[in-house]
Amino acid sequence: MRLVSFRLAGVSRTAKPNAARRSERSRQAVLTAARELVPELGYARVTIEAIAARAGVGKQTIYRWWPSKGAVILDSILALSEGEQGVRLPDTGELAADLRAVMRATVAEFADPVFEAPLRALTIEIAADPDLAAMYRERLAGPVDEAKKERLRSAQRAGQLRPDADLDLVLEVLYAPLQQRWLRRSGPLTDDYADALVDLTLRAFAP
């Protein structure tokens, strides 16, 4: 089982299709087309028209269902986890081991071109679109972060983490260096690097 923060955490937040308005088959074709085109063409060259042509639908069909190209990309990422049940993080009782498993899986996911290319495109779009940023927080980042914090609360109850630790800050210390290295392509993303971030975070917030 992959234990990662986005696609394989079991997040499934895409809107359920309205049988009166859309064809599920066409919807899936659009999402698949968006995921395929981003790594093929680069995000800047992907257009609604190109997605529509690849999916075999009219562009007005896409505009009926999604407000922007960024929204299509977001749903294309969310669709990778459709059918999964909830967000799952391991809880073996050993916080360090569980966080290493999650961080190593995140590193592997960032290296997966099926996931990496659309997520990088989405990150670019979020920076310029506040509405899309709010949608991203509500439908993807928020539920995933809450699942992570629930695992950290369990560690606090077990005396493995400072009881007064700010859990949002814990997550920032743990993930921000990884995300920055990924965004800037400034260094390799390896299991050793993931483990080092876990060790650093646990030292900083040790009871």
Could you report the per-residue pLDDT of 96-121, keeping only the tens digit for each? Answer: 999 999 999 999 989 888 788 888 88
Residue 9 burial by Cβ neighbours in a 10 Å radius (0-12, 13-18, 19+) = buried
Task: Report the CATH superfamily, name and number, of domain 7-81.
Answer: Tetracycline Repressor, domain 2 (1.10.357.10)
- Binned at pLDDT 50, 70 and 90, residue 88 comes out as confident
Task: Please name the CATH architecture into which domain 95-204 falls.
Answer: Orthogonal Bundle (1.10)
Q: Which part of the chain is CATH 1.10.357.10?
A: 7-81, 95-204
Could you tell me the CA-to-CA distances from 37 to 43, 82, 123, 146 in Å, in that order? 8, 20, 16, 31
Instruction: Say if residue 15's pLDDT is above 90.
Output: no
Tokens at 61, concatenated = 């069909």
For 134-196, give the DSSP string: HHHIIIIIHHHHHHHHHHHHHHHHTTSS-TT--HHHHHHHHHHHHHHHHHHT-S---HHHHHH
Say what the pLDDT of residue 102 is. Answer: 94
Say what the pLDDT of residue 114 is. Answer: 78
Conformation bin of residue 185: beta by default, left when phi > 0, alpha when psi is -120 to 50? left
Query: In this predicted model, what pLDDT tens digit does every residue of 148-164 receive, in sequence order?
Result: 999 999 999 999 999 99
Say what the pLDDT of residue 87 is. Answer: 67
Q: Which is nearest to 29 in space by CA: 66, 55, 60, 3?
A: 55
Higher local confidence (pLDDT), 62 or 118: 62
Say what the pLDDT of residue 195 is. Answer: 98
Residue 144 burial by Cβ neighbours in a 10 Å radius (0-12, 13-18, 19+) = buried
Helical (H) or strand (E) element with 56: none
Instruction: Say if residue 85's pLDDT is above 60.
Output: no
- Binned at pLDDT 50, 70 and 90, residue 11 comes out as very low
Share of the chain above pLDDT 90, in %: 61
- Binned at pLDDT 50, 70 and 90, residue 22 comes out as low
Query: In this predicted model, what pLDDT tens digit does every residue of 185-201 receive, in sequence order?
Result: 999 999 999 999 999 99
- Binned at pLDDT 50, 70 and 90, residue 183 comes out as very high
Higher local confidence (pLDDT), 153 or 124: 153
Evaluate whether 43 touches 119 at the Cβ level (below 8 Å).
no
Beta carbons within 8 Å of 205's beta carbon, 6+ residues apart? 161, 162, 165, 170, 173
